Amino acid sequence: MADINSVAPAGWESAKGSAAPSMSKKFTFDRYGVTREFLDRVADLSEEDGYHPNISFGTTYVNITIDARDGETLGNADRAFAEAVDRLARIDD
């Protein structure tokens, strides 16, 4: 199994409670409208990529967990998805 630190981009942490290796990150926003726009962009990315992460959210935050696609090891595709999510969050900066 790959070390989470060698795959996960900065700010992503090893997620607990998942059967497969995973990484997670919490994104925070100033208001619900911005949170919703981010969620919509993540949904579009997921449709394009064919991968759907686990998402939980509230008015001003979104938690995203990316599980290893193969169920065993976090790989380059998982890292690329996390980096794409990070770019989507920066659109609102």
Amino acid at 43: A
Residue 84: CATH number of its domain: 3.30.1360.20
| Domain count along the chain | 1
The alpha helices in 50-75, defined as continuous H runs, are: none
Question: Using one digit for the tens of pLDDT, what is the confidence trace for 62-83?
Answer: 999 999 999 899 999 999 999 9
Q: pTM for the whole thing?
A: 0.88
Q: Is 3 inside a domain boundary?
A: no
Name the residue range of residue 40's domain: 22-90
Query: Is position 56 within any domain?
Result: yes
Domain contains 6:
no
In a domain, 10, yes or no: no
For the segment 45-54, what is each residue's pLDDT rounded down to a tens digit? 999 999 999 9
**30 located within any domain:** yes
